[in-house]
Amino acid sequence: MLEIECPWCGSRDQDEFSYGGEAHIVRPLSPENLDDREWGDYLFFRDNKKGQHAEQWCHSAGCRRWFNVVRDTVSYRIVSVYRSGDSSPGDPS
Protein backbone atom coordinates (compact mmCIF):
# COMPACT_ATOMS: atom_id res chain seq x y z
CA MET A 1 0.00 0.00 0.00
CA LEU A 2 1.22 3.50 -0.79
CA GLU A 3 1.74 6.04 1.95
CA ILE A 4 0.64 9.43 0.57
CA GLU A 5 1.53 12.77 2.15
CA CYS A 6 -1.54 15.03 2.08
CA PRO A 7 -0.32 18.67 2.01
CA TRP A 8 -2.91 19.53 4.70
CA CYS A 9 -3.32 16.39 6.82
CA GLY A 10 0.07 14.69 6.64
CA SER A 11 0.94 11.09 5.82
CA ARG A 12 -1.97 8.65 5.35
CA ASP A 13 -2.61 5.23 3.78
CA GLN A 14 -3.58 5.12 0.12
CA ASP A 15 -7.10 3.85 0.89
CA GLU A 16 -8.03 7.35 2.18
CA PHE A 17 -7.43 8.85 -1.28
CA SER A 18 -9.04 8.84 -4.72
CA TYR A 19 -6.97 8.94 -7.88
CA GLY A 20 -7.95 11.69 -10.31
CA GLY A 21 -5.80 11.01 -13.36
CA GLU A 22 -3.03 12.97 -15.00
CA ALA A 23 -2.35 16.42 -13.56
CA HIS A 24 -2.09 19.69 -15.46
CA ILE A 25 -4.62 18.88 -18.21
CA VAL A 26 -5.87 22.27 -19.38
CA ARG A 27 -9.44 22.60 -20.64
CA PRO A 28 -9.62 24.12 -24.13
CA LEU A 29 -10.54 27.83 -24.10
CA SER A 30 -13.26 27.40 -26.75
CA PRO A 31 -14.49 23.79 -26.58
CA GLU A 32 -17.41 24.63 -28.88
CA ASN A 33 -14.87 25.21 -31.67
CA LEU A 34 -13.34 21.72 -31.39
CA ASP A 35 -14.31 18.97 -33.78
CA ASP A 36 -15.22 15.51 -32.43
CA ARG A 37 -11.67 14.18 -32.79
CA GLU A 38 -10.13 17.13 -30.91
CA TRP A 39 -12.75 16.94 -28.14
CA GLY A 40 -12.21 13.17 -27.84
CA ASP A 41 -8.44 13.71 -27.60
CA TYR A 42 -8.95 16.19 -24.74
CA LEU A 43 -11.39 13.94 -22.86
CA PHE A 44 -9.83 10.51 -23.26
CA PHE A 45 -6.18 10.54 -24.33
CA ARG A 46 -3.38 10.92 -21.81
CA ASP A 47 0.40 10.45 -21.96
CA ASN A 48 0.47 7.34 -19.72
CA LYS A 49 4.26 7.39 -19.82
CA LYS A 50 6.67 5.14 -17.98
CA GLY A 51 8.63 6.81 -15.19
CA GLN A 52 7.87 10.02 -13.29
CA HIS A 53 4.33 11.22 -13.86
CA ALA A 54 2.27 14.10 -12.36
CA GLU A 55 -1.10 12.91 -11.04
CA GLN A 56 -4.12 14.40 -9.26
CA TRP A 57 -5.24 12.90 -5.95
CA CYS A 58 -8.09 13.77 -3.59
CA HIS A 59 -7.98 13.10 0.15
CA SER A 60 -11.55 11.79 -0.06
CA ALA A 61 -11.64 10.24 3.44
CA GLY A 62 -10.00 13.24 5.05
CA CYS A 63 -9.95 16.95 4.17
CA ARG A 64 -11.48 16.26 0.69
CA ARG A 65 -8.96 18.57 -1.01
CA TRP A 66 -7.27 17.94 -4.35
CA PHE A 67 -3.50 18.04 -4.76
CA ASN A 68 -0.81 16.78 -7.13
CA VAL A 69 1.67 13.97 -6.73
CA VAL A 70 4.73 13.23 -8.86
CA ARG A 71 5.02 9.44 -8.77
CA ASP A 72 7.29 6.97 -10.54
CA THR A 73 4.99 4.56 -12.40
CA VAL A 74 7.64 1.81 -12.41
CA SER A 75 8.61 1.75 -8.72
CA TYR A 76 5.48 3.51 -7.33
CA ARG A 77 7.85 5.77 -5.37
CA ILE A 78 6.34 9.19 -4.65
CA VAL A 79 8.86 11.84 -5.67
CA SER A 80 6.98 14.95 -4.52
CA VAL A 81 3.59 16.25 -3.38
CA TYR A 82 2.30 19.79 -3.96
CA ARG A 83 -0.98 21.67 -3.76
CA SER A 84 -3.10 22.18 -6.87
CA GLY A 85 -2.32 25.55 -8.36
CA ASP A 86 1.26 25.52 -7.08
CA SER A 87 4.18 25.01 -9.41
CA SER A 88 5.57 21.51 -9.69
CA PRO A 89 8.70 21.20 -7.51
CA GLY A 90 10.42 19.53 -10.46
CA ASP A 91 9.78 18.61 -14.06
CA PRO A 92 8.25 15.10 -13.96
CA SER A 93 9.47 14.31 -17.48
Task: State pLDDT tens for residues 42-86.
Answer: 999 998 889 999 999 999 999 999 999 999 999 999 999 999 988
* Residues 73/46, Cβ–Cβ less than 8 Å: no
Please give the CATH number for the structural domain made up of 3-25+38-83: 3.30.2270.10
Q: How many CB atoms lie within 10 A of CB 16?
A: 16
Residue 27 burial (C-beta neighbours within 10 Å; 0-12, 13-18, 19+)? exposed
Q: pTM of the predicted model, to two decimals?
A: 0.84
pLDDT in tens, 12-22: 999 999 999 99
Residue pair 9/15 in contact (Cβ under 8 Å)? The answer is no
Instruction: Tell me the domain boundaries of the chain.
Output: 3-25+38-83
